Amino acid sequence: MVPAVTFTVLDSNGSLVEGDLITSQGLVVLEDEVCFKTLEIWAVLDAEPEANETFTVLPSSPSGGACAACLGGEAPPSSPS
């Protein structure tokens, strides 16, 4: 099984409207020997005047050996001695 992590983009302060961002959820797949991936989230320029829009990316459901402890940028847990 290939290591993968599901992600969801969440509204952080109530400023997002449906369609404001491209890529609101998805799956990041880590091919052999790949430890990092770049996730691109595009803001859509529309006619609505809006203040800054703030969002959070929530990683979840690691599979195939992806490390749940690493989802927040933390180091993986050390092996017991």
Q: Looking at residue 81, what is its pLDDT? A: 45
User: Could you report the per-residue pLDDT of 44-80, keeping only the tens digit for each?
Assistant: 777 777 777 778 888 888 888 877 555 555 544 554 5
Burial class (CB in 10 A: 0-12, 13-18, 19+), 5: buried
> What are 21's strand-pairing partners?
43
